[in-house]
Amino acid sequence: MPVRERLLLILPDKDIYEYLCTGCSESLGQREVTLADKRLAALRGSRRRHR
């Protein structure tokens, strides 16, 4: 089954996402994205777009 990512909680220094099964909406785990992670992702993204 594919999974769906849902924004669960927004904290000052990080966001917490929850993974849900698209079939039965069962929670499959959580992921924390820190601000540092977001900045890195944005940097990588802009580099990719410029190429």
Q: What is the phi/psi pair of residue 39, to 5°?
A: -65, -45
Residue nearer to Zn ion on the CB measure, 21 or 42: 21
Q: Which residue has the tokens 């190429």?
A: 51
- With CB atoms as reference, the residue minimizing the distance to Zn ion is 21
- Please work out, in degrees rounded to the nearest 5, the angle formed at the alpha carbon of residue 2 by the alpha carbons of 48 and 6: 70
Say whether residue 23 binds Zn ion (CB under 5 A): yes
Residue nearer to Zn ion on the CB measure, 23 or 45: 23
Say whether residue 21 binds Zn ion (CB under 5 A): yes
Other residues' Cβ atoms within 10 Å of the Cβ of residue 16: 14
Question: Footprint of Zn ion on this chain (CB under 5 A)?
Answer: 1, 21, 23-24, 26
